[in-house]
A and B are shown apart, each in its own frame.
Chain A
């Protein structure tokens, strides 16, 4: 019975199906594509898209959770308050300083580390494995390690390098310690991205340059760096945006005291400690704008290619 039904259906169905197969398949592909992406899109829209619009709205209101009945729409008043506040600008300069110094140092250190990981003749596995430890370790854990290392009496660095001084209680030394902690933690990530770029440098090219009498430094600047340029720019973009949102290290090392707050730290303090949603949201929006400007500068001025983009397969 069932056998008869099967053949019955199959016979007449075949010829028209063959014709419609392409467009039918195309439509099925589109449907499947959207269906597969739907959960990711929905979550990102609900937990990132909607809140960012909502924070724009919150930033236009006077909204202090300590005085909820005084909530009202105030237009751009919060922006005036924040942008004319010296604490905000101090936090902005601290953030920019930490970002610029740490990314610059990381580029140099990361390049050295990448060359070592890429070229080492012995123990490549050990080097790569230990390099991943700073990358993977919980930032708060690393920050505590640095904090105790610099704590007078307790720490090995405080007693040797700092001569027993409480370095974390003074603004400039504290910022330096925070920057060092940031550099230690994120250089390996930079190095891994650069190493991926190094792998693209053809060995033949290096050999040819060596034959033509190029010194090691010339081979590095004239051959390797130009080939690696896209990887370098991507690594710089990633790390700059990441450094700009510095929070964990600062929270543990100084808690933003002595004017060492970053913009993220200041926003956190206004929001969670001060419960001022209006001002907190305004700062959130401003940080978002700052990050957008950094990304724009990288992409437009330096021509950083969007990593992982659709172009990947085609180039």
Chain B
């Protein structure tokens, strides 16, 4: 891979290092900026300096002492975890069927779920707003979990069926020869082999749910189900003269932590998950 233009020289290495530093800076500067804001004191918040002149934890203490933020954090975590769990379980079942089994309507299912993945979410917001108000789901956890599952399912089915195509299916045949039913072959042999793919999909789906803003701001109205991205956009200082910048920055950093952890520990998996399906088609 390295050898197209010649041997690996220190000059080439240096050039790559410079390019890499540029990429890392591109990716991290906006993130470091919000981190920096979150540690600035009230007095230095508006000094325009990239690195805080005076450091403080006050912004973090402030947001964790409000129910507005803590409740939103609980909502975000709960809603994203439940939606992820359901979407991954149902997505795994469907993707297995699509990758392995022959049944009528299979192509239609793939086509329709692709359609949903491409769907403009706003098109669902209008009818869901009305339907959820009628059914009493508006501003509840299920009211957000359901649309999240719906949009996560195509992503899950798509990623998982790409993973499932790579599994050595002879093992399944062997299991069936040994007398296992298709159901048993799925549970005992294939499911453990598929676990890494399922795990990767879960991360991608969680990031999707964690990220959502449009549904969360349209289908909630109180702290009962408001998630952090929405709560952030409603943050005001404790008095009308107080600037919410510090609190917003601190809350923003808090909800970025899980993303950073996922990326640090599962970089390889996430890259594999995002690219697996895309070029096979």
Q: Does A22 contact B (CB under 8 A)?
A: no
Q: Which of A47, A55, A207 contacts B123 (CB 8 A)?
A: A55
Minimum Cβ distance to chain A for residue B192 (Å): 17
A54 touches B275 (CB 8 A): no
Q: Which of A10-18, A82-90, A169-177, A265-273 contacts B (4 or more CB under 8 A)?
A: A265-273
A34 touches B146 (CB 8 A): no
Q: Does A192 contact B (CB under 8 A)?
A: yes
The docked-state distance in angstroms from the alpha carbon of A3 to that of B107 is 47
The docked-state distance in angstroms from the alpha carbon of A48 to that of B147 is 8
Chain A positions within 8 Å of B109 at CB level:
37, 40-41
A125 touches B278 (CB 8 A): no
B5 touches A280 (CB 8 A): no
Smallest CB gap from A263: residue in B = B122
Smallest CB gap from B210: residue in A = A138
A29 touches B275 (CB 8 A): no
The docked-state distance in angstroms from the alpha carbon of A115 to that of B3 is 15
B23 touches A153 (CB 8 A): no
B124 touches A32 (CB 8 A): no
Which one of B13, B93, B183, B228 has the highest number of Cβ atoms from chain A below 10 Å of its Cβ? Answer: B93
The dominant DSSP class at the B interface is helix
Minimum Cβ distance to chain B for residue A230 (Å): 7
The docked-state distance in angstroms from the alpha carbon of A257 to that of B228 is 24
Minimum Cβ distance to chain A for residue B74 (Å): 17
Q: Mark A123-150, 1 if CB is under 8 A from B, else 0.
A: 1011111111111111111101110110
Q: Which of A139, A196, A206, A287 contacts B278 (CB 8 A)?
A: A196
Q: Mark A263-297, 1 if CB is under 8 A from B, else 0.
A: 11001100110000100110111011001000100
B211 touches A305 (CB 8 A): no
A287 touches B27 (CB 8 A): no
Given A121-B16, A155-B48, A310-B106, A37 and B93 contact (CB-CB distance below 8 Å): yes
Q: Does B4 contact A (CB under 8 A)?
A: yes
- Report A's interface with B, CB cutoff 8 A: 26, 28-30, 32-34, 36-37, 39-41, 43-44, 47-48, 50-52, 54-55, 58, 113, 116-117, 119-123, 125-142, 144-146, 148-149, 153-156, 158-159, 184, 188-189, 192-193, 195-197, 199-200, 203, 206-207, 210, 216, 230-231, 234-235, 241, 244-245, 247-248, 251-252, 263-264, 267-268, 271-272, 277, 280-281, 283-285, 287-288, 291, 295, 305-313, 315
13 A-B residue pairs with Cβ-Cβ distance under 8 Å, sorted by A, are A29-B102, A47-B128, A48-B116, A48-B119, A54-B127, A133-B28, A136-B262, A144-B232, A192-B274, A268-B122, A284-B120, A310-B98, A312-B277
